[in-house]
Amino acid sequence: MRAPRIFLAAIAAAGLFALPASVRAADDHAPAHAPIKIPEQKWSFDGIFGTPDLASAQRGFQVYSEVCSACHSMRQLHYRDLTGIGFTPEQVKAIASNFTVPQGTDDAGAPKEGPATPANMFRSPFPNDKAARAANNGALPPDLSLIVNAREGEANYIYGLLTGYAEPPAGFKMQAGMSYNKMFEGHQIAMPKPLNDGQIAYIDGTPTSVDQMARDVTTFLTWAANPEMAERKAMGVRVILFLGLLAGVTYAVKRKIWADVH
Amino acid sequence: MAGLHKSEVTNPVLNWIDQRLPIVTMLQKEYGVFPTPRNFNYFWNFGALAMVTLMGMIVTGIFLAMNYQPNANLAFDSVQHIMRDVEYGWLIRYVHQNGASMFFIVTYIHIYRGLYYGSYKAPRELLWILGVVILLLMMATAFMGYVLPWGQMSYWGATVITNLFSAFPVVGKYIVTLLWGGFSVDQPTLNRFFALHYLLPFVLVGVIFLHIAALHIVGSNNPLGIDPKGPQDTLPFHPYYTVKDSVGICVFLMVWAAFVFFAPNFLGDPNNFIEANPLQTPADIVPEWYFLPYYAILRSVPNKLLGVCLMFGSLLVLLVLPWLDTSRVRSCRFRPTYKWLLWLWVLSFIVLGVCGAHKPEGVWVVLSRLATLYYFAHFLVITPILGKLERPLPLPESITQAVTGRPLENH
Amino acid sequence: MADSSASTAHGHPADGNKRDTLELIAGAGAAIFAGSIGWALVGSMNPSKDVLALSSVDVDLKPILPGQGITVMWQGKPIFIRHRTAAEIAEARNVKPSELNDVQLDKARVKPGHDQWIVLVGICTHLGCIPLGNKTTDMRGEYNGWFCPCHGSQYDTSGRIRKGPAPTNLPVPPYAFESDTRIKIG
């Protein structure tokens, strides 16, 4: 006879939780610009138990290294982090040594460079934002460490953007040096179409279609923005189950204690 | 006068302490045998839930502060350092980040419970006022905490909110410069916000202590809004309500955990994953969800000063509510008309929240104006007048009679 | 959270045992939960991944003449590198083990074939001060090695404790010779 009241409380709480959700849902239909519909994709990391597919993330790292990293930095990542997508420490060492990064100063105090170690940050393509703009027509290629979390639509948006290049519709006025993209706000993006079929050769032999590369690099970037995801979801399941049991036992104690009141 | 406290504690060590510092006696009196109405429903859990949240926020906050850098050049990266490199850093940070939302959810429900059951009415006016002070302190703390990650929303939120004070004539711009410690939101602003964000929770603990002290003088209200008439109407707080609160706490922790582990950024804004950039304002700036209703009130009028005054007024009006309500009865259970108008007020609050998330154009302007109008009319017009006009339902003779259906035995 | 005591007085006697068990389980569960949170919080004070991954240090030994020493930084600690003279090596080798407080042969403290190079963590094993002696002008103590100014611990030319309150020898950090004139510490 007490249970219905819990449900009442739960419904009241749920009502308040639903508020931001409805706010977001409503936001998607904001009339400010012609709304861009971002198609939903299926991802290995969807849902309560989903975690990034490591093989895909490793291929995505290859795409990042061979394509994106020409312009985009990932300042929050270190080569040592790559063990998180299934590389062994030895593999990480080997990968890192392929990159030349700043290594402090030499004995005379001049800045020096050398092969990266796992402890080093990912190599940045430009020394600073000004240099990045100067090399890119004044546009700043954003850092990709958190890009998946930093965009409305998350992975679906990144994938949509990478596969969203097309010829501009008839009559659409393009500015010089810009590319047409279906997913980009305003449809004019400074980044030229980055991925083309067969552009790189995957180590594991997977055919490199634009779709495959976009999918892989999005998986990699999702991991990069949320490296804790696998641990977090696994821990979450255990914590919720534990608290559920604890709630059950505590409720039983409560029933017993209150038995003599009614 | 002087001399040891007469302790009834049997454990010799505790007894020795209790004679000199009667904390055991005090705890026993305030949380052990404290007479509590026997008819609480689960809405009475939310005070305890808020307490648990505050404790969680303080503890996680202290450990976050050990790794956080209140420096405009380092703050954003130091948060990422916590998320990526510090052992369990992501867990502590997500608990804290979502804890802010949890704190407002439980506090809003706690406040709503007070409104519905008339807990603000005499003799609990001061208890209620202290509660409003707690809400204001919470808001200040939450706002400053949101600035610390130094993302785009942090920066522009800080800019917009501090600029509210520029609405005041003459002194406004001096206040804003003083708040910033400069001519824009920058390093000094971040540094002082960090200091205050660390301080205010402890001020909050102090005011909550007073809130509870005031509660324990007048005693708890209850769903019937009538005073207990004797021991048969009350139960000792322990074990009856300690265990009932524990049930609520377990369920609440599950909700909190669900956000932390499965949707940690659901309540956040993608723009805050971009480091603060003083040269570029994001396309849509919105405050965190718990500030949206007030944000909508602010924007509902085209006049800057009036908007700011209405926004602050929407909170300050709560301070005088005990004297605006003229009804003889407390609980909405016995107020057939007011009950629905209070729900309408809740609706206006939610509508304001939705309006706050949208650009102030078209239908949203109209809606937010209507909702703002009702928000204030409810307190300033309906509450005083309806209290006089409404005929309350008959009150039960006593809590026990209402709960058991039996008339009082000892009368 | 969940309470666990002082409630038997209110229950039905027949239910007492069952309720006690339930309360015990609930109390234990609450304690485990609180303990886990505490574990994570305290765990966050451990060295973070970036600290653990601190890179190794390369040191060029060419400029160090016999009898000289240099100090380099590794993991936030001073590392002493001394180019020992033949006399200093002999001094370290000619000690009877019975004269040592913390018995260790000099041979075990250097890399084979590089007897002239001694590499040490330059932190006194007593209470963490940095001993003097790495500069040729420093006081080197009675054993011609290092001398800690804080409490007078004296180390020999192999960095072994010979006199004073320090309990153990100066530790040798992990390092390797990359060439005859270059070492990598860490």
- Rounded to an integer, what distance in angstroms lies between the CA atom of residue B269 and that of residue B117? 35
Q: Which of B152, B140, B151, B133 is nearest to B193 (CA)?
A: B140
- At B165-204, the pLDDT tens digits run 999 999 999 999 999 999 999 999 999 999 999 999 999 9
Q: Which of A184, A168, A65, A38 is nearest to A125 (CA)?
A: A65
List, in order, residues 6 or more apart from A202 with CB less than 8 Å away. A59, A62, A208
What residues pair up with C118 in beta bridges, in sequence order?
C82
Q: What is the dihedral of CA A74, A78, A80, A83, to 10 degrees?
A: -20
List, in order, residues 6 or more apart from B310 with CB less than 8 Å away. B297, B298, B300, B301, B372, B376
Q: What is the CA radius of gyration of chain B?
A: 24
Q: Give the model's pLDDT for residue B178.
A: 95
Q: Give the model's pLDDT for residue B328.
A: 93
Cis amide leading into A115 (omega within 30): no
pLDDT at B303 over 50: yes
What residues pair up with A101 in beta bridges, in sequence order?
A114
Q: Which residue of C has its CA nearest to A248?
A: C26
Packed helices B237-262 and A3-27: angle between N→C axes, nearest 10 degrees: 30
- At B335-380, the pLDDT tens digits run 999 999 999 999 999 999 999 999 888 899 999 999 999 999 999 9
pLDDT at B41 over 60: yes
Structure-token pair, residue A128: 């600073």
- At A222-233, the pLDDT tens digits run 999 999 999 999
Q: Give the model's pLDDT for residue A4.
A: 44
Q: Tell me whether C19 touches chain A (CB under 8 Å).
A: yes
- Rounded to an integer, what distance in angstroms lies between the CA atom of residue B118 and that of residue B224? 9
List, in order, residues 6 or more apart from C154 with CB less than 8 Å away. C141, C142, C143, C145, C146, C147, C148, C161, C162, C163, C164
Instruction: Please state the pTM of the whole predicted model.
Output: 0.89
pLDDT grade, residue A156 (50/70/90)?
A: very high
pLDDT grade, residue C4 (50/70/90)?
A: very low
To the nearest whole Å, the CA of B189 is away from the closest chain C CA by 27
Q: Which of B337, B357, B47, C184 is nearest to A152 (CA)?
A: B357
Q: Give the model's pLDDT for residue B252.
A: 98
In a 3-state reduction of DSSP, which class is residue C78?
strand
B18, B233, B245, B325: which one is catalytic? Answer: B245
Average pLDDT over residues B51-59: 97
Packed helices C16-43 and B46-65: angle between N→C axes, nearest 10 degrees: 30
- At B19-35, the pLDDT tens digits run 999 999 999 999 999 99
> To the nearest whole number, what is the mean pLDDT of chain B?
94
Q: Are A217 and A64 in contact (CB under 8 A)?
A: yes
Torsion sign, CA atoms B292, B386, B217, B242? negative
pLDDT grade, residue C16 (50/70/90)?
A: low
pLDDT grade, residue C15 (50/70/90)?
A: low
pLDDT grade, residue A33 (50/70/90)?
A: low
What residues pair up with B393 in beta bridges, in sequence order?
none
Tell me the chain C residues in contact with residue B63 when contact means C-beta distances shorter than 8 Å. Answer: 41, 44-45
Q: Are B386 and B327 in contact (CB under 8 A)?
A: yes
DSSP chain A: --HHHHHHHHHHHHHHHHHHHHHHHHHTT-SSSPPPP------TT-TTT----HHHHHHHHHHHHHTGGGT---TT-BGGGGGGGT--HHHHHHHHHTSEEEEEE-TTS-EEEEE--TTSBPPPSSSSHHHHHHHTTT--PPP-TTTTTTSTTHHHHHHHHHT-B-PPPTTPPPPTT-EEBSSSTTSEESS-----TTSS--TT-----HHHHHHHHHHHHHHHH-TTHHHHHHHHHHHHHHHHHHHHHHHHHHHHHHTTT-
Q: Do A23 and B292 touch (CB under 8 A)?
A: yes
Q: Which of B304, B287, B21 is nearest to B147 (CA)?
A: B287
Lowest-pLDDT range of A27-31, B131-135, C47-51: A27-31
Q: Give the model's pLDDT for residue A29.
A: 42
List, in order, residues 6 or more apart from B193 with CB less than 8 Å away. B70, B144, B147, B148, B158
ipTM of the prediction: 0.91
To the nearest whole Å, the CA of A107 is away from the closest chain B CA by 28
pLDDT at A28 over 70: no
pLDDT at C9 over 80: no
Average pLDDT over residues A114-140: 92
Packed helices B292-300 and B363-377: angle between N→C axes, nearest 10 degrees: 100
Interface test with C, best of B59, B241, B243, B249 (most C CBs within 10 A): B243
Average pLDDT over residues B390-410: 83
Q: Give the percent of chain A with pLDDT over 70.
A: 87
pLDDT at C2 over 90: no
Q: Give the model's pLDDT for residue A181.
A: 95
Lowest-pLDDT range of A33-37, B177-181, C19-23, C47-51: A33-37
Q: Give the model's pLDDT for residue B285.
A: 86
- Rounded to an integer, what distance in angstroms lies between the CA atom of residue A60 and that of residue A66? 10
- Rounded to an integer, what distance in angstroms lies between the CA atom of residue A77 and that of residue A73? 9
Q: Give the model's pLDDT for residue A112.
A: 87
Q: Tell me whether B369 touches chain C (CB under 8 Å).
A: no
pLDDT at B38 over 90: yes
Q: Are C29 and A246 in contact (CB under 8 A)?
A: yes
Packed helices B336-356 and B292-300: angle between N→C axes, nearest 10 degrees: 80
Q: Give the model's pLDDT for residue C75.
A: 86
B284 catalytic per annotation: no
Structure-token pair, residue A141: 């290629």
Torsion sign, CA atoms C133, C137, C138, C144? positive
Average pLDDT over residues C159-185: 93
Q: Which residue of B has its CA nearest to A242?
A: B254
- Rounded to an integer, what distance in angstroms lies between the CA atom of residue B146 and that of residue B152? 11
- Rounded to an integer, what distance in angstroms lies between the CA atom of residue B376 and that of residue B118? 18
Tell me the chain C residues in contact with residue A257 when contact means C-beta distances shorter than 8 Å. Answer: 7, 10-11, 19
Chains that touch B (3 or more CB pairs under 8 A): A, C
Structure-token pair, residue B265: 């950024």
- Rounded to an integer, what distance in angstroms lies between the CA atom of residue B273 and that of residue B368? 29
* CA distance to B154, B197, B200, C9, per residue, from B142 (Å): 11, 8, 10, 44
- Rounded to an integer, what distance in angstroms lies between the CA atom of residue B236 and that of residue B400? 15
What single DSSP character describes residue B151? B
List, in order, residues 6 or more apart from B260 with CB less than 8 Å away. A236, B91, B94, B95, B98
In a 3-state reduction of DSSP, which class is residue C56?
coil
Q: Which residue of A has its CA nearest to C11?
A: A257
- At B62-116, the pLDDT tens digits run 999 999 999 999 999 999 999 999 999 999 999 999 999 999 999 999 999 999 9
Highest-confidence segment of A9-23, A31-45, A199-213: A199-213
Q: Are A240 and B258 in contact (CB under 8 A)?
A: yes
Domain parsing of chain C, residue ranges: 13-46, 52-185
Q: Give the model's pLDDT for residue B403.
A: 85
Q: Do B109 and A16 touch (CB under 8 A)?
A: yes
Q: Tell me whether C2 touches chain A (CB under 8 Å).
A: yes
- At B217-253, the pLDDT tens digits run 999 999 999 999 999 999 999 999 999 999 999 999 9
**Residue at token pair 């802010």:** B100
pLDDT at C186 over 90: no
Interface test with B, best of C8, C33, C44 (most B CBs within 10 A): C44
Q: Give the model's pLDDT for residue B411.
A: 43
Chain A contacts in chain B segment 338-367 (CB below 8 A): 350, 353-354, 357-359, 361-362
B288 catalytic per annotation: yes
Q: Do B271 and A150 touch (CB under 8 A)?
A: yes
What residues pair up with B354 in beta bridges, in sequence order?
none
- Rounded to an integer, what distance in angstroms lies between the CA atom of residue C91 and that of residue B365? 90
pLDDT at A10 over 70: no
CB half-sphere exposure, B310, CA atoms < 13 A: 24
- Rounded to an integer, what distance in angstroms lies between the CA atom of residue B244 and that of residue B249? 9
- At C104-155, the pLDDT tens digits run 999 999 999 999 999 999 999 999 999 998 888 888 889 999 999 999 999 9
List, in order, residues 6 or more apart from C171 with CB less than 8 Å away. C120, C121, C125
Q: Do C41 and B81 touch (CB under 8 A)?
A: no
Average pLDDT over residues B136-145: 97
Q: Do A23 and B353 touch (CB under 8 A)?
A: yes
* CA distance to C115, C118, C172, C182, per residue, from C108 (Å): 10, 11, 10, 20
Interface test with B, best of A85, A128, A246 (most B CBs within 10 A): A246
- At A51-104, the pLDDT tens digits run 999 999 999 999 999 999 999 999 999 999 999 999 999 999 999 999 999 988
Q: Do B86 and C44 touch (CB under 8 A)?
A: yes
List, in order, residues 6 or more apart from C50 with CB less than 8 Å away. A78, A119, B81, B85
pLDDT grade, residue A262 (50/70/90)?
A: low
Q: Are B204 and B141 in contact (CB under 8 A)?
A: yes
- Rounded to an integer, what distance in angstroms lies between the CA atom of residue A25 and that of residue C179? 65
Q: Give the percent of chain C with pLDDT over 90.
A: 63
> To the nearest whole number, what is the mean pLDDT of chain A?
88
Q: Which of B134, B136, B333, B350 is nearest to B223 (CA)?
A: B333
Q: Give the model's pLDDT for residue A34.
A: 63
Q: Which CATH code is given to the segment(s) C52-185?
A: 2.102.10.10
- Count residue pairs from A and C with Cβ separation < 8 A: 52
When CB atoms are compared, the residue of C19, C23, C26 closest to A246 is: C26
